[in-house]
Amino acid sequence: MCGIVGYLGKKKAVPILIDNLKRLEYRGYDSAGVAVIKDSTLVVEKSVGKLSKLETIVIPKDYPSTIGIGHTRWATHGKPSDINAHPHMDCKGEIALVHNGIIENYLELKEELIGRGHRFLSETDTEVIVHLVEEFYQGDLLEAVRSAVKRLEGSYAIAVVSSREPERIVVARKDSPLILGIGEGEYFVASDIPAVLNYTRNIWILENGELGEISPSGCKVYDLEGNEKKKETMVVSWDISMAEKGGYPHFMIKEIHEQPNALRETFRGRVGVDGLVRLDFKNITVEELKNLKKLYFVACGTAYHAGLVGKYLIERFVRIPVEADIASEFRYRDPIFEKNSLMIVISQSGETADTLAALRMAKENGVKVVAICNVVGSSIARESDDVLYTYAGPEIAVASTKAYTSQLMVIYLLMLLLAQIKGTLPIDKIKEFVEDLRKIPDIATKVLEDLEPAIIDFSKRYYKAHDVFFIGRGLDYALSLEGALKLKEISYIHAEAYAAGELKHGPLSLLEEGVPVICLATQGYLLDKMISNIKEVKAREAIAIGFGIEGTEDLKDVCDEVFYVPKVNDIYASVITVIPLQLIAYYMAKERGCDIDQPRNLAKSVTVE
Ligand code: AGP
């Protein structure tokens, strides 16, 4: 997620903009910039790299300007570079704009604007907005921004300044956060509360579809039709540390709650008006996808677990063989690379050494590689032939949550695209699956609302467990691996995952009275088998905690307790059912007083072998 700041007051703007951007550094970024107005001229200074680099450029110039906007960029469209950094300017250099979000229809807007003579400098989606504002500008910046945002599809939080109106900042938001800070004769714009806490605790939160203007006489907010809106002032009591976590005690729980939006952003723009999937491959042709004979999913840890879900679904619906491998095993087992195959590497950070090594092996063997990655410009993203980005925003907690569910979203979309291209599913079935997928972000919101209180209670009862087992079949087996990893890595409880049908081949000897067994039973076609396995668990006096889709009443007859997730197409059950498992890990670790965001012995990105 990018960071936006703005300032209008009596002090020099640049030091304040830089200071406020530093408060947003925790969100992650790859470039930064500011725009100020000096002698009725717009000055934009921006550079790829850290804020400290921008500081060395702007601080010595000691701009006297008391108005400005600033930005830290988390790249989504266009690699990290000076020219792609924000702020972006119109053709005449009179308007500067910063943006957080994704403009879905930027390509068509860009073609339209170029057709009317606008000159673009960057690869970003953002730049279309400032040229739209330029087109609509007829002496009133607020009116021009209002007209411009009405042409946008997607998400945006923007701040705009113009040398034509040197005492005014205009802002607008839809689906990306934006707040106004009300100081003593000075006013602030920010993506997030931490950025302004050093100056004011009086906040206005902009709602979707609202625009705002800041001038020396204060702040005003309007709706899209131009009607002024009265805003409640919120007085923030958080300290900086709490504010960086959005009021949550840890990044992990904040990121668990960010999943509905991460899923929405990752889905956004990837389904056409025909209701079919469209993924922006640049170097892999439809012909190559049509002739695909084999897929390799290769990744580590949680990302590998996402790949395993991909294996099950693509084999089932696309009918080609799929291997899912742990990268550190794959690269040393002298794998056989087949013709007409494709490797898909999955990595949140895009820097995992073993995954990068597997990618290079595939390319050395003439196999093209697609990355599912969360960091634009990362090593894995740069070395892959194509990248399908997750738009989860920076993931700070070591335990991966929103990245995993966003990876699943990309895998679901890929599965549907391949089924479409290879004709292994009827078009109406694909459209039905797409519509089921579109509902997932809202179902994720509901599962958080419905289950969090019960999981907190559950965790208080079981956090002293020494061993916890996770069992499941099919997609639920892949999910049990992720549930066990989440629990063990942050609570330090010994947690194991097993294919439920595997229990009688050995693990059953470990079950005894009081051992909690998480039984995942979301797959309708495997329910009877799972019920039999749960009975095996109960016969050993262990505790069976069932997870199923609401309506699966049979689970109540065999489990000690059951958690139901909202109705969902069971091919997508993993992305919803993982959420209560993440919550179990979080709240058990919290009860145990663990260092949740930084668990012992672990790093967020394993860049060494
Ligand atoms: C997940 O909770 C872990 N932090 C870890 O397994 C992680 O998924 C793995 O290291 C892969 O990281 P990557 O996605 O950045 O490649």
At 601 the pLDDT is 78
Query: Nearest residue CA, atom 16 of ligand 1?
Result: 347
What is the count of structural domains for the chain?
3
Tell whether 464 and 498 lie within a shared domain. yes
Tokens representing 252 are 């992990």
Per-residue pLDDT for 194 more than 80? Answer: yes
Return the SS3 of 266.
helix
Per-residue pLDDT for 603 more than 80? Answer: no
The β-bridge relationship of strands 179-182 and 202-205 is antiparallel
Q: What are 288-304's pLDDT values in tens digits? A: 999 999 999 999 999 99
Tell whether 509 and 397 lie within a shared domain. no
What distance in Å separates the CA atoms of residue 469 and residue 201, rounded to the nearest whole number? 46
Tell whether 229 and 340 lie within a shared domain. no
* Ligand 1 pocket: which of 352, 379, 387 to mutate (most atoms within 8 A of CB): 352
Q: Which atom of ligand 1 is nearest to the CA of 602?
A: 4
User: Which residues are known to be catalytic?
Assistant: 2, 604
Percent of the chain with pLDDT over 70: 100
Tokens representing 570 are 């069971």
Tell whether 30 and 99 lie within a shared domain. yes
Tell whether 392 and 257 lie within a shared domain. yes
What distance in Å separates the CA atoms of residue 342 and residue 281, rounded to the nearest whole number? 13
Tell whether 607 and 516 lie within a shared domain. yes
- The CATH code of the domain that includes 48 is 3.60.20.10
What distance in Å separates the CA atoms of residue 137 and residue 121, rounded to the nearest whole number? 20
Mean pLDDT taken over the chain: 94
pTM comes to 0.81
Q: What is the 3-state secondary structure (H, E, C) of 74-94?
A: CCCCCCCCCCCCCCEECCCCC
CA of 418 to the centre of ligand 1 (A): 26
Tell whether 538 and 585 lie within a shared domain. yes
- In the chain, what are the helix, strand and coil shares in percent, each to the nearest 5? 40, 25, 35
Which of the listed residues 194, 227, 244 is the one where a domain comes to its end?
Answer: 244
Tell whether 124 and 219 lie within a shared domain. yes
Which of the listed residues 244, 271, 293 is the one where a domain comes to its end?
Answer: 244
CA of 99 to the centre of ligand 1 (A): 29
Q: What are 443-493's pLDDT values in tens digits? A: 999 999 999 999 999 999 999 999 999 999 999 999 999 999 999 999 999
Tell whether 464 and 608 lie within a shared domain. yes
CA of 404 to the centre of ligand 1 (A): 9
Q: Which atom of ligand 1 is nearest to the CA of 380?
A: 16
Which of the listed residues 244, 279, 310 is the one where a domain comes to its end?
Answer: 244
* Ligand 1 pocket: which of 302, 331, 401 to mutate (most atoms within 8 A of CB): 302
Tell whether 252 and 213 lie within a shared domain. no
Tell whether 430 and 472 lie within a shared domain. no
Q: In sequence order, which residues have a C-beta less than 8 Å from that of residue 574 and are 6 or more positions away?
A: 309, 408, 475, 476, 478, 479, 522
For residue 210, list its beta bridge partners. 173
- The CATH code of the domain that includes 274 is 3.40.50.10490
Average pLDDT over residues 269-273: 93
Per-residue pLDDT for 319 more than 90? Answer: yes
What distance in Å separates the CA atoms of residue 338 and residue 323, rounded to the nearest whole number? 12
Tell whether 140 and 196 lie within a shared domain. yes
Q: Which residues line ligand 1 (CB under 6 A)?
A: 300-303, 347-349, 352, 355, 398-400, 489, 605-606
- pLDDT band at 244; cut points 50, 70, 90: confident
CA of 398 to the centre of ligand 1 (A): 8
Domain of 520 in residue numbering reads as 440-609
Per-residue pLDDT for 589 more than 90? Answer: yes
